[in-house]
């Protein structure tokens, strides 16, 4: 599939979300951070807003659920129009059952881990997922500095995906910008979430282009 860029709407202007989506039409996905003030100490948006975004978005929605009890709430986000739904390993009671339910509803299923959560216990679940998200900041807020110590997990997931022969995407989220994206790509990420680096820039379209170019070059160096 190659490099994909998923700008996070968390850094967008919440009063002009439809315009902000048009500004990222060159991206592969729009990353939507759902926070419930329980799993993380912040509250963003929920299903009705996702439904409204899905109706106008030029790109598919990549929903990142930072919520307690995803087993109960995640399927509703597929109904709301999300094409990819990622829930946290730390929050799910029955991750396999939930991933199967999301896939049966027609969405891609993603599993997220916080920067300090070991990925090891989840590697045997790779066949159940379409994407693994390794957080590169503590979830909850945009604009935080990149956590270098999450990169070994990215490497470990990439190695396990390669060994499995499966086409599971490896996403990084948090502090991804022009200074850090190459290291993420070298570690094996192929889907890059960027909030402040895209919406905090003068021109969201060119920010997407330059992030994509940097990641593509770094991937080529590793592959070559």
Active-site annotation, residues: 33, 173
From 117-125, 135-143, 162-170, 183-191, give the range in contact with ligand DX5 by CB under 6 A: 135-143
64 binds Zn ion (CB under 5 A): yes
Cβ 124 to ligand DX5 shortest distance, Å: 25
Q: Concatenated DSSP letters for 143-155?
A: SPPP-GGGHHHHH
- Cβ 72 to Zn ion, closest distance in Å? 20
Among 109, 126, 193, 208, binds ligand DX5 (CB under 6 A): 193
The CA dihedral of 135, 141, 147, 152, to the nearest 10 degrees, is: 0
Contact status: 82 vs ligand DX5 (CB under 6 A): no
What order of strands is seen across the sheet that includes strand 108-113?
A: 4-7, 191-194, 169-173, 131-135, 108-113, 84-88, 61-66, 30-35
- Local structure of residue 115 (DSSP, 8 states): T
Q: How far apart are CB 22 and ligand DX5 at their closest, in Å?
A: 19
- Give least dist CB 40 to Zn ion, A: 10
Q: What is the per-residue DSSP string for 157-221?
A: HHHHHHHHT---EEEEESS-STTTHHHHHHHT--EEEESHHHHTSS-HHHHHHHHHHHHHHHHHH
**Is residue 195 within the footprint of ligand DX5 (CB under 6 A)?**
yes
Nearer to Zn ion, 67 or 187 (CB): 67
Q: Whose CB is nearest to Zn ion?
A: 64
Query: Could you list the residues that contact ligand DX5 (CB under 6 A)?
Result: 8, 10-11, 31, 33, 64, 137, 139-144, 173-176, 193-197
């Amino acid at each position: 599939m190659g490099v994909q860029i998923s700008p996070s709407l968390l850094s967008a202007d919440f009063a002009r979300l439809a315009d902000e989506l048009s500004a990222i039409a060159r991206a592969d996905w729009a990353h939507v951070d759902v926070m419930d003030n329980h799993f993380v100490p912040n509250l963003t948006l929920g299903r009705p807003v996702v439904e409204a975004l899905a109706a106008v978005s030029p790109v598919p929605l990549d929903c990142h659920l930072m919520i307690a009890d995803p087993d109960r709430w995640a399927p509703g986000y597929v109904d709301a129009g999300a094409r990819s739904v990622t829930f946290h390993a730390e929050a799910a009671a029955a991750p396999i059952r939930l991933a199967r339910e999301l896939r049966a509803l027609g969405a891609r299923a993603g599993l997220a881990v916080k920067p300090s959560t070991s990925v090891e216990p989840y590697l045997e679940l790779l066949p159940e997922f379409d994407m693994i998200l390794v957080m590169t900041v503590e979830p909850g807020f945009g604009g935080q500095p990149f956590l270098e110590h999450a990169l070994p997990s990215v490497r470990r997931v990439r190695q396990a995906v390669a060994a499995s022969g499966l086409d599971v995407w490896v996403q990084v989220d948090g502090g991804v910008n022009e200074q850090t994206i190459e290291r993420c790509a070298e570690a094996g990420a192929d889907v890059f979430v960027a909030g402040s680096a895209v919406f905090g820039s003068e021109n969201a379209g060119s920010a997407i282009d330059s992030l994509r170019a940097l990641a593509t070059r770094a991937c080529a160096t590793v592959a070559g």
